[in-house]
Every structure is written in C-alpha cells, then in structure tokens.
Amino acid sequence: MTQSADTLLQVSDLTLHYRTRRGTARAVDGVSFDLRRNEALVVLGESGSGKSSLAKALMRLLPRNIERFSGQVMLGDMDIMQLGDEAFRKQVQWNRMALVMQAAMNALNPVVRVGEQVAEPLRVHRGWSKDRAMERVAETFRKVGVSTDFLQRYPFELSGGMRQRVVLAMALVTEPDVVILDEPTSALDVLTQASIMNVLKRIKREEGTSFILITHDVATSSELADRVALMYAGQIVEISDARDFFHYPAHPYSQMLMDSVPRLHQAEAPGYIPGEPPDLIDPPTGCRFADRCPSRFSKCSQDPPAFSPDERRRVRCWLHEDEVARGS
C-alpha cells in the first residue's frame, strides 16, 4: 500500500500472538491497513476475531503472555513500533493515540469526581496545573454534550449514556490524532447508542479527529464508517470504502455477513453462516474461511494474499485474483 499525503497511520503486517497452555493463539496475524486524516475506519468482526487485540497492539497495552509482537506502525513519519516503552508512553499513548476500552464506563473510579478523572491525562502526562486542566476538561465536556455542572459529580450520579460521554471526554481531552473506540455503545440502549454516535459524528466533523471504531454490530458501524475493515480469525479479509462494503461486499464472508443482517420489509428470513470460526490456536492453512465458504475451490488450500480489484478495496480471497490480472 502506498502512503498518500493524508495518511495518518499506516499499519503493516502487525502481529500479536499470545502464549497459552494449549499453544500459540494468533489473535492478530499480519494485519495491514491505513487510516487517513479525519476518517472513521470501522473494524468489524465477530467475537474472538481479534478486534480488541488489534486495539491493544496499537496502544501497546499488552498482557504478559506475549509470544510475538511485531510489524510496522507509522504514525505520521514515526515508526512507533521502534520506540522504547517509556518513549511510547510519553509520545504516543493518550497524547497522539487514545483508546476507549470495552466497558470503560464501568471502570471509572467510583470515589473520584468525574471532572478530576478526565483531567488526569493532562495532569499526569503533561504536568498541567489543576486550573488549566479543568478548563480543558470543561471545554471537552461541552464537545461531548455533558453539562459542566457534572464536573463535580461522582460516576454513580450519572446515567450510562453520560458515563460513556465522560470516558469519551477522557480520550479526547489531550486532542489526540487517533481515537480508538472498542465497542463504545454495546452496553447502551438504542436511543443512547444513537446519541453517542451523533456525538462522534459531530466531533469528527468539527475537530477533524480520526477514529478506529471496533464493533461486531453492522448497524452501528454503518452510522460512522468511511471505510470498513472486516476481521476474521485474526486477519483482515476485506477493507473497502463503506458504501462499497455495505452495498457490494466482495469477500464471501462479507457477503454472508451482510446477508445475515435482518432488514425491515424483507420477505425472506436473514441468512446465517453455518459452522464456527476456526480456533486461533493452530488455525487451518490456506484461507481461514474456506471451511464455511460456499465458493471455495482448490486454490483456497493456499493462503490468499490481499488482492486489490480496484483502488478502493483489498480482498483476501482467491476469487479476486483474476479481476486484478484483468485490471478490472
């Protein structure tokens, strides 16, 4: 993939394998993508496909049982994989890249006022005075739609939706280039989900922030996505412009996933994908989706590279090899 002027993040062959009692779990296995300025990239995938591990690898929030952690991650012109831990913490984590972890709103400290908690990255990582930090926090609260009256409240005094806005404020308060959101709305009711998605859309529009939104929910993803990367068994199997992905998915797995989404006014029952995703410990050689794929043929026993049928797509499927050869 070539780097264009508006590329903010370029990830190449990122790999994160865990050591487990049963063997090596290949949670992130050679993942490559780029993220442009002011873009929302949705990383879609079913449970266990490696989405959270990808977020943790990007943020270097790693557990102890790492077997392999490798690849290249260019943030602007800096390869952040080459930074030592201390330099990474100072220069990248929370400053240039921030993460809203899964279920973060339930992990707020119950005995510290929310304003103080949101100020923490500024106080700890930047050494800002309390007054200066609180001024920025108030400004960030306004951006995410939380009244500044709430600065002095404790988490238990806020609704779920407000707590989620607070954790969003915590990620945004340092004005990072990239915000990674891991299932930011899955614990919320649909109306609250919609209001959080509206906040994200506005911040993207007004602040120019780039987002990586991780979700298993196709409906949520279609709200914000400029592009979609679909993960399956630790790999990205398709990455496409959102409109193409939702209307003309290219990978057989993407097609089956889109067919499985229930639609209003649809006469026939939604499709389903038979079988189970493979075990990430010792996954099958060749295409990892082959066992469940109605279009599989002899070549699928070999690992497919990512083909680019056009400049807006990359598809890890042998069916697209000929399109590339024909230049279509």
Which range touches ligand ATP (CB under 6 A), out of 41-49, 77-85, 108-116, 142-150? 41-49
In the chain, beta strands by DSSP E = 7-20, 23-36, 40-44, 66-75, 78-79, 97-100, 178-182, 210-215, 227-232, 235-241, 313-315
Instruction: Give the residue with the Cβ less far from ligand ATP, 18 or 307.
Output: 18
Shortest distance (Å) from residue 50 CB to ligand ATP = 4
**Given 52, 193, 209, 254, the residue binding ligand ATP (CB under 6 A):** 52
Which residue in the set 40, 45, 71, 233 belongs to the binding site for ligand ATP (CB under 6 A)?
45
Binding mask 278-297 for ligand ATP (x = CB under 6 A): --x-----------------
Out of 90, 216, 243, 292, point to the residue binding ligand ATP (CB under 6 A).
216
235 sits near ligand ATP (criterion: CB under 6 A):
no
Nearer to ligand ATP, 174 or 235 (CB): 235
How far apart (Å, rounded) are the C-alpha atoms in residues 54 and 231?
10
All residues at 6 or more sequence positions from 211 whose CB lies less than 8 Å from its CB, including other chains: 39, 40, 41, 178, 179, 180, 181, 200, 204, 224
Three-class DSSP category at 50: coil
Contact 1, 34 (CB under 8 A): yes
Asked if 185 interacts with ligand ATP (CB under 6 A), we say no
- Name which of residues 128 to 147 contact ligand ATP (CB under 6 A): none
Measured from the CB atom, the residue of 61 and 194 that comes closer to ligand ATP is 61
Pattern 58-77, ligand ATP, x by CB under 6 A: -----x-x------------
| DSSP label at residue 11 | E
Q: Which is nearer to ligand ATP, 31 or 196 (CB)?
A: 31
| CB 44 to ligand ATP: min, Å | 10
- Do 34 and 9 contact (CB within 8 A), yes or no? yes
Q: Give the residue from 123, 145, 125 showing the smallest Cα distance to 135.
A: 123
What is d(CA 220, CA 222) in angstroms, rounded to the nearest whole number? 6
25 binds ligand ATP (CB under 6 A): yes
- Report CA torsion sign: 294, 299, 303, 309: negative
Measured in whole angstroms, how far is the alpha carbon of residue 250 from the centre of its chain? 20
Stretch that binds ligand ATP, among 17-25, 78-86, 164-172, 308-316 (CB under 6 A): 17-25
* Count of residues engaged in binding ligand ATP, rule: CB under 6 A: 16
206 contacts 20 by C-beta, under 8 angstroms: no
Opening angle at CA 168, ends 241 and 45, nearest 5: 40
| Interacting residues with ligand ATP (CB under 6 A) | 18, 20, 25, 27, 45, 47-53, 63, 65, 216, 280
